[in-house]
Structure 1
Amino acid sequence: MSHSVNATPLSAADTYQDHEDDGAGVRSSYNSLPAWASDKGFGWIVTITGIVSFIASFILVLERFALYKDPGHVTSCDINPWVSCGTVMRSWQAALFGFPNPIIGIIGFAVVISIGMSLLSGARFPRWYWIAFQTGITLAFAFCVWLWSQAVYEINALCIYCMIVWAMMIILFFTTMARNVLTDVIPSGDGVKRFFTGWTWMLVALLAIAVMASIFFRFMNAFFPAS
C-alpha cells in the first residue's frame, strides 16, 4: 500500500485520512481541516515563505561577498548603528559553521520551495517525509531563535533581511506543526487538534509581536533618542 497523504484540497467540512507506516489506514477522529492546512493551501504557504526567505538569503550572500571584496563596503541596509547588516555580517555569529549563514538559507529554502511547488502540483508524500520536513523546519526555527537572541542581545545590531527570514520562519514553523498535528503525522488527541485549528495564526501573531517588542525595548534609544 502506498504510504501517502491525500493531496486533494479539503474544506473545513471534509475528512482527512492519513496512513501510518505499517500500511494500516488510520482515519483521524478529528474531521475538520482548515483550508490553509489542505495540500493546496499549505503548498501556497510553503512556497511563498520559501521564496521570500530565499530572496532575502540570496541578497545577504551577495552583500557578504561584497564585504569580502571590499571591507569598507556599505550594505544596502546599513541605515544607522542599530540597523546595519554590515555590523551583523562582520560578527562571528554570522558564520557559525565557518561560512556565511545565508548560504544555509539558500540551500534550505530552495528545498522548501520545491516541496511547496510539489504540493501545488498534486504530489503526495509519505508520513516519514513529513516527519523529516518537520525536523528540518524545527531545527531551522531554533537556529533563527538563536540568531535573534545574538543580534538583539549580543551583537546589538539588526539586519533587515535577517528579520524577514525570522518572520517567514515563524509562519512556516507553526503552520507545519499544526498541519502535521491535524493530519496525524504527529499523533495527538482531538483537543490538541482543536487548539491548532483555532490558534495557529494567533500563535504566529503572538510570537511576531513578542519579537517586535524585544527589538523595541532593546533598541528604545534608536526610536526615542535622548534630547
Structure 2
Amino acid sequence: MTKATENHNQAALDESDPTSRLPRGDRTWALLALITAGLGLYASISLVIEKWAIVQDPLHVTACDINATFSCGTVIRSSQANLLGFPNPFIGLVAYTLVIVIAVGVLAGARYRAWYWLGLLAGQILGQIFLLWLWTQATFSINALCLYCMLVWFVHPVLLMATLARCVRTGALPAPDGLRDTTRIWAPALVVLVWLVVFGSVLVRFSGTMFG
C-alpha cells in the first residue's frame, strides 16, 4: 500500500459518519448541556477563586459584593458554604466538567448505555436537591444572595430537565407513551416551575432591600 493510499484511507475514516445514528434529540441535548454546564463551571471556578482570595485576605471584597443583599462574600464565609468540609464549588468543578466531557462525547458520536444515562440523571437530581437546600439557606438563613450561585440555580434546572426528557424519550427511563411523546412540553414547563419557586421567593424575600 502506497503512502498516498494510506493517507487517503485514513482521511476517509476520519470523515466517516458514526456506525449508528444519534438517538433523536441527543445533539440538541449535548449542545444544551455544553452551554448550561459551561456556565455552571464558570460560576464554580469564580467561587473557588473568590474563596481562595478570602483565605489569603479575610477582608477581601468579592467581585459580586454589590450591597447587603447581593454579597457573595457573606455567602462564601457562611458555614453552609462548606457543608461537606470543603468549599461547595469543588462539587460543581467536578460535576460540570463531567457533563461537558459526556456532551462532547455525544457530539463526537459516542453511545452510552441506559444505566450510564440513569447515573447521570441521578447525579443531576442530587445536585438539584443540594441547590434547593442552598437556596433555602441563602434566602431564609444567611439572608444574602450570591450572583454566581444564582447563575447555577438558573442553569441547573435546564440541564436536569433536558437530561430527564432525554432519558424518557429514548426509553432509558421507562414511561408511558404519552409522557414520552410530550417531553417538549413538560420539560420546559418544569424548568419554569423551578424558576418561579426559586426566583419568585427571592424577589419576595428581598424586594425591600434588593436594590437598596
Same fold (TM over 0.5): yes
Identity of aligned residues (%): 42
User: Does 2:187 align with 1:178?
Assistant: no
Aligned residue number for residue 32 of structure 2? 45
Whole-angstrom distance in 2 between the partners of 1:56 and 1:132: 24
How many residues of Structure 1 are paired with residues of Structure 2 in the alignment?
A: 193
Residue type at the aligned position of 1:147: L
The structure that is helix-richer by fraction is 2
Residue type at the aligned position of 1:8: L
Whole-angstrom distance in 1 between the partners of 2:115 and 2:197: 33
Aligned residue number for residue 217 of structure 1? 204
Residue type at the aligned position of 2:110: A
Query: Structure 1 7/97 Cα, relative in aligned 2: closer, same or farther at 3 Å?
Result: farther
**Aligned mate of 1:136, from 91, 116, 123:** 123
**Aligned mate of 2:81, from 82, 89, 94:** 94
* Partners of 1:7 and 1:123 within 8 A in 2: no
Whole-angstrom distance in 2 between the partners of 1:7 and 1:209: 37
SS in 2 for 1:63: helix
TM-score by length of structure 1 reads 0.81
Aligned residue number for residue 147 of structure 2? 160
Residue type at the aligned position of 2:117: W
Equivalent positions of 1:1-227 (< 5 A) are 7-8=21-22, 10=24, 38-223=25-210
SS in 2 for 1:117: helix
Q: Give the drift of 1:202.
A: 2.1
Q: Give the drift of 1:193.
A: 1.7
Q: Structure 2: 5+ residue runs without aligned partners?
A: 1-19
Q: Give the drift of 1:190.
A: 1.1
Whole-angstrom distance in 2 between the partners of 1:224 and 1:129: 44
Whole-angstrom distance in 2 between the partners of 1:8 and 1:96: 39
* Partners of 1:93 and 1:150 within 8 A in 2: yes
Q: Give the drift of 1:199.
A: 2.0
SS in 2 for 1:222: coil
Residue type at the aligned position of 2:61: V
Moved over 4 A (4+): none
Q: Give the drift of 1:53.
A: 0.6
Aligned residue number for residue 7 of structure 2? none
SS in 2 for 1:166: helix
Residue type at the aligned position of 2:52: F
Q: Give the drift of 1:201.
A: 1.1
Q: Give the drift of 1:9.
A: 5.8
- Identify which of structures 1 and 2 has the higher relative contact order when contacts are C-alpha pairs closer than 8 Å and 6+ apart: 2
* Partners of 2:69 and 2:210 within 8 A in 1: no
SS in 1 for 2:181: helix
Whole-angstrom distance in 1 between the partners of 2:78 and 2:191: 29
Residue type at the aligned position of 2:125: T
